[in-house]
Amino acid sequence: MSIARLVVVEDDPDLRDVLRESLTREGYEVSVASDGVEGLALIRETRPALVCLDVMMPGKDGIEVCRELRADAEFRALPILMLTAKGDESDVVLGLGIGADDYMVKPARPKELVARVRALLRRGSVSSADGSAPVLEVGPMTIDEERFEVRVNGEAVQMTPTEFQILQTLAKKPGRVFRRSELLRGPSGASFSDERTVDAHVRSIRQKLGSDGELVQTVRGKGYRIMDDGS
């Protein structure tokens, strides 16, 4: 089994060292950068399996780096874990809205960091290994699980790994209402993300689906479901 290569972009040298040591102990190959410009260059050079990205950095901050990565076809499916010194919901929503997959409020606890990284790596490699059909169809939308591809009326729609998983989970059982906690569970069944992030991901999914965003419905007080043809 190959060793996953990770990139940590963090301007605080002490925290950067803690993150690198924690992830290295778990068997990952870790490269680090101290700012956004250096981080982008490192990511493009090494093509990692996942990026831990600080939000607040001098020069090019984490938000700008995330935007640039999501605008590049080569890195649209790259799992991104944002690190923020603020618990402010606006920072969280902004990061998730531009394509981050998860976030942690600093100081990041090593055990939680490792759990989040493992979960995101598993999430990014979700396939049809459970024996289900590799292509799911819901109304005008198709979800190709092997190609990691979403199309609406034949047009490709770019999704992050988390957005893809949420759509995939909903589409496998149209009509069923999923609680927020169910939509961000790893293969082990453990919830590994703050449930409030689901709302931000769903908003992003609906925006990307355009007029077909109504396929993903909110069930007040319960969660979300997907309905064929929005019925």
Cite the residue boundaries of each domain of the chain with CATH code 1.10.10.10.
Answer: 135-230
Per-residue model confidence as pLDDT tens digits over 101-155: 888 888 878 888 998 898 888 765 544 344 445 788 888 999 988 778 899 988 8
Cite the residue boundaries of each domain of the chain with CATH code 3.40.50.2300.
Answer: 5-124
Q: Domain spanning 135-230: which CATH class is it, in words?
A: mainly alpha
Q: Which of 52-56, 57-61, 185-189, 192-196 has the highest mean pLDDT?
A: 52-56
Q: pTM above 0.75? A: no
Per-residue model confidence as pLDDT tens digits over 175-217: 999 998 888 764 334 344 566 778 888 998 999 999 999 999 9
SS3 assignment, position 83: strand
Topology annotation, domain 5-124: Rossmann fold (3.40.50)
Confidence grade of residue 162 (pLDDT, cut at 50, 70, 90): confident
